[in-house]
Structure 1
Amino acid sequence: MLRGDQAYSGFRSWGLLLAFFAAMVLVSGCGGKQVPSSSPREHPDSGTRLSTLGYTIQFGAFAQPGNARRLTARLEGQGLEAYYFQQEGLYKVRFGDFPTRDAAERKARRLQNTGHIREYYVLRPRNTFPAGPRLGEQIVQTARGFLGIPYEWGGTRPEEGFDCSGLTMATYRLNGLKLPRTSRQQYRAGTPVGSEELQKGDLVFFAPGSRVSHVGVYAGNGRFIHAPSTGKNVRISSLGSRYYQNAFAGGRRYIRE
């Protein structure tokens, strides 16, 4: 009996240890590459206004994502931070943050002359996309285009996978807004919004422990789009689930009417 008790005790200790590490993964596995921060509940946010992107270059309208991935890889080989996304059923590629249209045009023409791209558009997302609730709807549609992409810690682009804050940053960037990189930085940058006041395009934050470590895009009707954790894909989840109800740290809004 003594040996049996000892075996049970050892098994129980290992079980508790594994449970502890599993909890740590949930707490820290989807917050991006972050720096230490104090508890979000101790320091209310003031709501920093996000800066907007300058002129960007967009090209391609591919039916298959593989074509967009290959073009993105070629541009990265030229030292450009390019990324592809899905819009209205087609895959497009975009890069740049140019201060003037002329600067963007010059870069695009050089890429044309070297055979890297063909047709292109120069656009400024702030003027291209609508404001207020319509922009919120556009943000949700952008996030939906990333459904099914695998989770990757530190990932900020679809070709490499997303972590939670990488997904929200990329989604906002495609809509012309420069969102900070990590979930805690994003939490501090927004204007606080209660759960009953959430609108499409707001971000929702979670703190399974003492600090914010997860974020998603609110999609309406109590649901949000997020990159959960290692081994899972970008998906839609419910704020009404017990886990997310208990971990909910608040919503944040960045869109100005």
Structure 2
Amino acid sequence: MKKICFRLAVLLLMGLLMQACAGREAKVYPAAPKPQKKRLAAMGHTIQAGAFARVENAVRLTEKLKGQGLPATYFRAADGLFKVRFGNFTTKESALLRAQSLRQAGVIEEYYIVLPEDSAAAKRSQYGTDYLRESLVKTAHDFIGVPYLWGGISADSGFDCSGLTMTVYQLNGLDLPRHSRTQYDAGDSIAREDLQKGDLVFFDTRGRGKVSHVGIYIGAGRFIHAPSSGKKIRIDALSSDYYARRFVGAKTYL
């Protein structure tokens, strides 16, 4: 009899516990929000000036414009001539006013206002991201063999790897920061095997545990970059012993 009463008591207690659990609502935890992708700002209206057969002349104009407080970059256009783009204006009118004042001051001669909607980045919504990636690679290819003299007008002044990547992105309508470390911070990290055309690859070439070099990935394990002083812009392989040992990471901005 005692055993029966004990069993009944246990069953009654279990029933009460189950009823209490059933009546209690399960706590629902919200899903962790997905991290937002970093986005580069779009370039505004820019001014294009100059048409030089010699890169040194484009560099001189670039430096002259920098002296006016205008961030300027140069590039080799489809016609083979070196041209200069500068400024980042919110309206076409403000770009025109600046260009006219520079022309009156004798800093530039003929000029052209580049509209934001004409950039590859602006056309991404129409043609897709692959279109923009291909445009970035094509722009980078146009620099191959060019002595990229960002810091001066002689080969001894050295090339600037981050100046190259910034120029390629800006020519396509995206305002990439100036220096390799800030470029690294501005992008989303991706695995090496997930690299796509137009992404940037970063290296520690000084052995200090910090980013000191950057290039533009063009597919098939290769990238375009400005290697170092005295060398022209070229293509190298990520698998090469030198760069494989110094590889820090990859970033995407698209």
Instruction: Specify the alignment match of 2:163 in structure 1.
Output: 166
Distance 1:90 1:173 in 2: 18
Answer yes or no: is 1:51 the counterpart of 2:41. yes
Distance 2:182 2:97 in 1: 34
Report the secondary structure of 1:162's partner residue: coil
Contact 2:46 / 2:88 at 8 angstroms: preserved in 1? yes
1:102-251 aligned within 5 A: 102-125=93-116, 127-129=118-120, 130-131=123-124, 132-150=129-147, 155=150, 161-207=158-204, 209=207, 210-251=209-250
5+ long unaligned stretches in structure 2 = 1-34
Distance 1:114 1:62 in 2: 20
The CA deviation string for residues 171-219 of structure 1, in whole angstroms up to 9 with x for no partner, is 2222222222332322221122222222211101224643333211011
**Larger Rg, first or second structure (1 or 2):** 2
Distance 2:243 2:110 in 1: 45
Report the secondary structure of 1:51's partner residue: coil
Query: Which is further off, 176-185 or 156-165?
Result: 156-165
Distance 2:165 2:153 in 1: 12
- Residue identity matched to 1:104: A
Instruction: Specify the alignment match of 1:13 in structure 2.
Output: none
Cα RMSD after superposing both structures? 2.9
Instruction: Specify the alignment match of 1:96 in structure 2.
Output: 87
The CA deviation string for residues 78-130 of structure 1, in whole angstroms up to 9 with x for no partner, is 55443321121222111111121110111122233444444322123464224
Distance 2:171 2:153 in 1: 12
The CA deviation string for residues 51-73 of structure 1, in whole angstroms up to 9 with x for no partner, is 12221111233444344345445
Query: Which is further off, 65-74 or 209-218?
Result: 65-74
Distance 1:48 1:237 in 2: 27
Q: CA 1:55–1:234 in structure 2 vs 1: closer, same or farther (change >3 Å)?
A: same
Contact 1:163 / 1:227 at 8 angstroms: preserved in 2? yes
The CA deviation string for residues 144-188 of structure 1, in whole angstroms up to 9 with x for no partner, is 333334577xx4688764322222122222222222233232222
- Residue identity matched to 1:196: E
Distance 1:148 1:139 in 2: 17
Report the secondary structure of 1:135's partner residue: helix
Contact 2:199 / 2:251 at 8 angstroms: preserved in 1? yes
Identity %: 53
Q: Displacement of 1:221 after TM fit?
A: 1.7
Distance 1:80 1:188 in 2: 24
Distance 1:78 1:102 in 2: 19
- Residue identity matched to 2:39: R
Q: CA 1:93–1:207 in structure 2 vs 1: closer, same or farther (change >3 Å)?
A: closer
